[in-house]
Structure 1
Amino acid sequence: HIITEGIIKNPACNLIAQNTTLGWVISGVVDNEDKERSKVINVLHAQVDKEDDILKRFWELEEQTSTKQILTPEEKACEEFYSLTTRRDESGRYIVRLPFRKENTLCISGNSRVIAEKRFKSLEKRLGNNKELKEKYVEVIQEYLSLGHMRPIAKDDMKKDKAFYLPHQAVVRDDKTTTKVRVVFNASQKNSNGVSLNDNLMVGPKLQADLRHTILRWRLYPIALVADIIKMYRQVRIAEGDAMFQRILWRDCPEKEIVDYELTTVTFGTASAPYQAVRTLHQVAFDEGDNYPLAKDKVLNCYYMDDLMTGCYEVDQGLEIYTQITELLGKGGFKLQKWNSNNQELIKEIKEMENEKDQGQLYINRTNKDIIYMDNIDKVKEISHEEVKEVEIKIDSTIKILGLTWNRSQDTFQYLVNLPPLTTAPATKRSIISNIARLFDPLGWIAPSIVLAKVFIQKLWLTGVSWDEELNVELVKEWIDYREQLSLLTDVRIPRWIGTTLNQKLELHGFSDASKTAYSAVIYLRTIDLEGKIHVTLIVAKTRVAPVKQISIPRLELCGAVLLSQLLIETANILSIPKDQIKAWTDSTVVLAWINDHPSRWKTFVANRTSEILTNMKASQWFHVSTKDNPADCASRGIPPKSLLTCDLWFSGPSFLKKDNISYNRPNNLDKLNVDLEECVKSYVTVVPNNSIFERYSTLKKLMKVVAYCRRFLKNNKIYRGMYLQKVELDAALECCIRQTQKEIFTKEYTQLQDKGYLQIKSSVLKSLCPYLDNKGIIRVRGRLEKAQLSEQTKHPIVLPRCSPVTRLIIVDAHVKTLHGGLQLMIIFLRTAYWIIGIRNLAKHHIYKCVKCAKQRANINNQFMGSLPSVRCTPARPFLHSGVDYAGPINLRTTKGRGHRSYKGYICLFICMVTRALHLEVVSDMNTQAFLAAFRRFVSRRRHCAKLWSDNGTTFVGAARELQELVSIQPSIAEHLESNGTEWHFIPPHSPNFGGLWEAGVKSTKFHLKRVIGDSTLTFEEMTTLLTQVEACLNSRPMSVIHVAGPGEALPLTPGHFLIGEPLLNIPDNQFESSGLNHLSRWQFVQRMVQSFWKRWSNEYLSNLMNRYKWSCQVPEPSVGDIVLIKEDNLPPSRWMLGRILHKHPGSDNITRVVTVRTKSNTIKRPTSKICILPIT
C-alpha cells in the first residue's frame, strides 16, 4: 500500500517519477562512469633554506638536553604496529608495513594518478631541455629496476582504487662530485581530496642516537673505525599489500607509453621511512645479536643514521668488530662500505678482507683536499689507501654548509667555516643571522667564540630592527670585526682520542660561571694511567645567553651551576664514569652557600634550582675555584676567535688538574651567608581569654548570691553574719557585676566619662545615648525623658553591652519573670531598668534557644518535596505496581429486614501507581486470612502484582487495638506475598505523605459512600455491589484538567481507558458484527488505541505531575545527635516524647526525609515532618 496514484515519465533521460505515501520516488538507469568533477591546480613549491629555518636548527642543536624520551600515544601505536607486522623473507631481509594512522585511510579515496602524471610530464620537459641531467636521471631509475627496488605493475593491478602515486623530481647537488643527481619522491603531494600519503602515516619515535653522544663514545678509543651502510633505506622491503601506495610513473622516452611502477622498498620521502630504517637496523641487532655480542652493542650505540663511528683498543679487536658487524648486518641484508681508520695496520687488514670478499672499496673526493664524505648514497672513484687523509662526518645531507672534519692522519677534529664572502650590500638582521646560524659546534669546543654570536643575536632583537632594515654603524662594525675572525677557527684542533685506555682512573671535572651577558658550563676529563701520568682533555661545553629581564649575578651563577649538573650527569652516563668521580667547581661562594643548605630556606627561584642540583649531585661534590683558574669564565664572557687559539686555560683546563694532589677548597662560614632567604610572613593573633566568673552561672539569681557572699566576706560584715542575704546586698552585688561589665566592654568610654564627665568618641555606640556616670559608677542613659512622669530608673536606664554574660543572664531572668513571654513583652519589661544594645536580636535569640518555648512552639518543617518514584512515571500495565490501604471500619448487617445485628467490616483499597485506577474489596476482618482472600480476588481479576506498597503506621482508621493487630500481622502477609512473586514495600511509619496516592483514593471513596449510604447499614452483598459502582465512578474520572471538547475531539483520559479502553460509565456503542474488519486489523486497531492512550498519558497526565504545589523550599537538614521531640497527633506538644537522632536516611537526591530516632524505650523511624528539633547543643 506504499505506491499510490501518480506517475511521470521522461523518455529523454529514461527516468520515472512514482508517487508514494512517502513522497515522490525517482528511478531509472543512470550513467555509471566516473566523471572528474574537481579541478586540479598544479603548484610548483620550491624548498629553500629559509633564514629562520637555519636559525631554528642552530638553536635546537645549542639547546639539546639529555632527557628521557616519553613516547606519545601515536608513537607507542607505531612501535606496536611495527612489532606485530614486521617479518623476514627467505634471505633474512626484513619486510615492513606502512604504519597508517587508520585502517580506512583518507588518501586512498582521492585520485592521485592524474596529479602524478601532470607532474611527470612537467619533469619530462625539464629533462628534455638538459640532456646531461636526463642521462643521469635515467641511470638512477635503471638502477632501481636492476636492483629490484622498483617493478612494473600488471594491468589487472592498475585498477586498484586504493593505489597512491608519488610524484618524483630531480634534485641536483653541485657540491657532490659523484652523485650530483638524486631522485626525490614526494609523498607529501596531496591528491584530489587534498590529502597526501604522509598525512596518513605515523612518523614513529625518534630512534637515531644523539650526535653528541655518538661523538663522545667515539673519542674513547685510541683506534677509530668508521663505515656506512650501502643504500640503507632500500635494504628494507615493503610488504606486497602496501607497495601500491608507492606507485610512480616512468618512461625513458616521450614517444613511449607511460608505465606504472611500484617501489618495493622503504622510500626516502615518506614520513615513516627514517623510523622504519633505523628500527629495522636495531631489529637485526635484537634478532641476531646474541651470536655477535660485540657488534650488537656497536649497532645500537655507535650508529648515527647509516654512519658507523666506533673504535677499539687493539687491531685484533678492530678486526673482530669489522667481522661481526659485517656478518650481523648481512643477516638482515645490509652491506657496509667506505671502511676507514686512523690505524694503518687495521685499515690494511680490512682492505685485504674486503678485496677477498669482492665487496665495497674506499672512495675519495679528489677535488676537495682529499676529503672523503661519508654518505651512503655517494659513489666516488676508487683510490689506494695511502691517498686517504681526511674523512668528513656529514650530519644531514640537506645541510651542506654544516660539517665537522676529522683529520685521520693527525687524529684530530677541525672546523669548517663556510661563510659566503662579504659584499657591499648593507648588513641586515637577515644576512647576519643567516651567517651565524651556519656555525656548527655540537659539543661546544669553541663555545667562547660562539657565545659572542649568541649575545649579538640578542642585541639585534633588542634594537627592534626588521629583518631587512639596515643596521646602525656600531652594530655593523662589531659584526664585521667578529666575522673576519671566524675563518681563524679552521686552525682549531681538538684531539679525537681523549687519552683513555683500559685500567685507567677517570675523573670528570666541571666548571660553571656567569657574567651579565651569559652563563656557561664546561667539562674536562682527567685520566690517570698506571704509571701516574695525568692527562686532561676538553670534553664538552654549553653556554646560555642571560635573560633579557635582568637578574642578579649570583642567580645567573646558580643557573650556570644547574646547567653544569645536567651536563655532568649526562656525560658521566655516556662515558660510564661513576658518580663519585664527578667534581663540580664554581667561583661563586653564594652559590656554594645555597647548595650546602636545604632548598626550603631560600626563595622560590633559588629553591627550585638548588633542588634540581641536589637531585643530580651531592653538595659534597661542589668546590670553590678562583676566577683566574675557572675556564668557564672564558665561555661566559666570550673570547674572540683570534684570542681563543692561544687560550690554554680553555683547551687544557686549569693547571691544578694536572697535579697529583688537588686541593678541594670550600670557603668557611657558608652557613652565615643569608642571600635570598625565603621571606617568612608570620601573622600574630591576640586572643584575650574570657575567664570571667560570670560565665560559670546559668541564672542571674545564683550569680547575685555568690557575689553578695563574696562582698560580705571581703567587708567582714558582722552585722549580717549568719543571716540570709538581704535585698540591699543582692542589689549591690548586681550593681557590682554591671559596673565590672561596663569597665571591660566600654573601657574607653568609661575612662573618658570618669575623666571629663561626657563622651567625645564619635565612633562609640553610646554616642547617641548621651551617657553619664551616676554616683555608683554605673553608666546610664541621659535621654530626653527628664520631664516624663516616670521613675528615675526608667528615665535613666543602665547601659548594657550586647556581648556580655551579665546581659545574657539579665535577659534569661526577664524571660522567666515574664513567664516565657513573647518578644514585645520582654523588651518592655527590660526597658524599665536597662538599655541593652541590640536588645531585639538578643531577646529573639534567647526565645529561640529556650527549650520550654521550643517545646510549646513545636515547629515542624516539611522537607523539600522529593521526585516521583520511577513506578509513578514509567508506563506499565494497570496494577503491575500497586498500593494498598484500609478504610473503615464500616457497619455491615448480617441479614435484611428487622432483627438484624451489625458487625464491623473494612474496605480494602488497591490503587495502580501508574494509572491511578482503583480496585475496592469488602473484607470482614483485619486478620491475615481476610486480607489474603481479598488479595486473591484482586489478582484474579487484575492480574499479577509485582510490587505492592502500603502504610506502616497510623494511616489505618480504627481503634488502637485493631491497628496494632494489623501492624503485627503485616510481616507474615508480606512473606506470603513474596513467595508468590509479589514484593511488598512499607513506607516509613507515621508518614502519610509517602502514601498520598492511596490516601487520596480513600478520601474519594468515602466521599461517595457518605452521600449514598448516609447512616444506613448494608449487607456484605449490598456493600460489595455498591463498592463496585463506586469503583466504576472513580475509574471514570478524568486524569488531567478537563478542557471543553468540541465535536470530534477525544474525551478526557481516564483510568478506565487503560482497563477496558474507555470510561466505565460510557453508553454502550452500536453493534459492528457485520463490519468487514478482519481479526488482524481489529488487533492492530486495539494496539494502536492502547498506544494512543499511553501517548496521551505522557502528554496530558504525566506533565501535570511536574509542579510542586507545596514544600517547594529546602529546609535545614537535621544532624546526627540532635535532640528532637517526636510528634504524636493525639497529644499536646508538652507530652511528646524526647529522642536523639541516630541515623539519617537520605533519598536519591541526597536530601534526608527519614531519620532513625532513639527514645528512652526503643529505636524508631520517623519522617522529618514528624520531629521537632530542640535548640539543645
Structure 2
Amino acid sequence: MTIESPTATVLGLRWDAAADELFFKVDLKESLGFLTKRRVLSAVAKLFDPTGILAPVVITGKIFIQRLWAAGLSWDEPLPDELQTTWVAFYSELDVINKIRIPRWLGMAEGRATTLLGFCDASTLAYAAVIYIRATDAEGHSAVSLLTARTKVAPLKGATIPRLELCAAHLLAVTLENVRISLRLTDTPYYLWSDSRIVLCWLRKPPTTLKPFVSNRVHQIHELTSPNCWHYVRSAQNPADCASRGIRASQLLDHPLWWQGPGWIMDKHTPNFSVIELNDEEHNILQSEQRVSSFVATTTHQPALTTRRRDGQMIPLIDLAQIRKGTGVSSSSKLKSLNPYMDDTGVLRVGGRISKADLPEDRRFPIILPKHGRLVELIIRHAHETTLHGGPQLVLQTLRSRYWILNGRQAVRSYGQKCVICRRHRGVTLSQQMASLPRQRISTSRAFVSSGVDYCGPFTVRVGAKRSRTKVLWYNQLQTLAARIEACLNSRPITPLYDDPNDKLALTPGDFLIGAPLIAVPEATVTAIPSNRIKQWLWVRHVHQKFWQRWSEEYLSTLQTRNKWQKPTRDVRRGDVVLVRNENLAPTHWRLGRITEIHPGSDGLTRNVTLRTASGTMTRAVQKLCRLLDSEHFESTASTGQDVQNSTDLATT
C-alpha cells in the first residue's frame, strides 16, 4: 500500500507538501499527428510558467513560433520538413520537465542577510533577465535560489545587439522592481550584471547625451536602479545566456549555471568586476548613439568655423582666420555688427557694446549660433515651451539671455508657425484661390432656374393665443415683413449708379423678376390707350433683350477680378488633421477631424473635402477648416517610435 504525497496546484505549478518542493506536470499523451501552426501554438501555450523557472525551454518554443510567422504559414498549413524535424526534437523532450524539482523555501529567515542578484543578456533571437536570491546566516553560510526570470523574443526587424542588450537591462530593472515590491524587499541590497560593456557605458552617461531610443531606456533604468549597482560579467558565467538563446528540456534538467548561477555569487562579498576597455568596434557603436548636443568650433587645422552634422560632414560657416588675427570679419559678413570673438574654449561669442553691464557673462557675450540646425531647433523649442508658447518677441528675449541666433526672429517665428498647440489656439482657417464662376451664374436664363439664395435663414414663429409681454410676430405679420424685406433686397442696384438724372437707371434683381424694382412707384395705367396702338409682344421682347444686354455689358465685367484668395495655396491632403471652424466657440473647442476624401475642382485645386470626426463624416469647404497636422507629420514620427492615433481617437481627445 502506497500513500501519495498531498499536492496542490497554483498558477501552473504543483506543490508537494510533504517534500516542500515545486514541480511541473507536462502531459504528452496527445500524438504529434498533422503538424500545423495552430497545433504548435496550442502545445507551447500549455507550458504555463508564470515564475519563469522554465524560461530557457519556453523561449525556445516562442522562438519557433516566430519562425512560423516569418515563414508566412497559414493556421492549418502543414509545416515544412525542416521545421517539423526541429519541432519533433523539441517536443519529444518536454516530458523531462516532470522530473524537475525546485525547493519552495528560499532560505529567508529572521537573522539572515538577504541579497538580490540579477543578470541580463540578449541574442539575435531573444533577450532575458533572471534574478537569484541569496540568504546568508550569521556564520557566513550562503544559500542561492533561482527566484524568477523573464524573456522576450527579439523583433524581426533586426535591432542591433547593443540595443537588444539595453532592452535586456531594462527588462531586468523592471523585473527587479516588481520582485522588491511583491516580496517587500525594497530595502534589500542588490547587484546587477550584464555582459555588454557598451550598455554599462551607456548607464554611466547622462540620458540627455544619448539618442532617443537609448536615452529613454537609460532614463527608466536610472529611475528603477542605481548605476553603481551594475557590473560586468563574462558571457560564459552569465546564467541569462541560457534564457536568451534557449536550451532543450534535457539540458535544463541538470544545468548548474541556470539553477545556482555562477559559483562566485555564493560569496557574501560579491566580486565587482571592472569593465574591460572598449575595442575599436564597440567604441564606434558607442559614438554612433551619442546625441549631437553642441556645435563645435574647430580652431586647429580648419580655416573656417564649422558645424558637425550627424553624418559627420563639416559645414563651414565663417572664416576664422580673421578672428584669430584680431582683424575682425569681412565687410560682407553677417557677423560684422556683432563684433565676434573667440573665447578660451574656442566658442564664438558676441563682442557687443554691453560688456561692462552688470549682467551675467552669457548675457553680455551670448554664443553665436546659425539659423538652421537640429541643435538650434531644440534650443528654440525649449525656450518656446518654457515661455508657455509665448510670442516671437518673448521667446527671442529668452533666447538672447544666452544665445544669439542669426536671423533669430525669423527662426523663432518659423518654429511658432509649426507648433501644434499654437496652431490650435490661433485657429487660422485655410484658403484657396477663388474659383471661376459656374456656367449657370454667367449664362442668360430665367431667375432662380439654376440657383437659390437662403439669405436670412429660418425664423422662429410662436403659434397660439397665449399672452406674453414679449412682442411676437404672428404668421401673417411675419409673411408681410418677409415680403417687404425681399422687396428691399431685390431692389438694391447691382450696377454702378449714374450721376445724370436723365441717364439710365441701374439694374436691380427686381428688373429680372417683374421688370422694375420691387419698391418702385407704380407706373401709370395704360388701359385708356387703344391696344392697336401698342405692339405689346415685340415691345416686351425688346425690353427683355435690352435688360440682358445691359446685364452682360455692365455687370458681368465687374465679376472678372478676384477681390480675395488671389493665389493658389498648398492643397490639403488625405490624412491631414484639421479643426472644423465654429463661429460660436473658441478655437480650442473646435471639433477635431481627419480628411478622408478630397474633391478637386476643374482647375485641380481642392476647395471641398470630406472628413471624419467623432460624430461621423461631413463635407466642408476648406475655408471652414484649420490645418493642425500634416499627413507628412505621421510619416516622420514613425522614425522616432511615436504612435499616431486614428482620426476617431484624435477627435475624442
TM range (shorter): 0.3 to 0.5
User: Given the two structures, how large is their TM-score scaled by the length of structure 2?
Assistant: 0.47
TM-score by length of 1: 0.27
In our comparison, the structure showing a higher alpha carbon Rg is 1
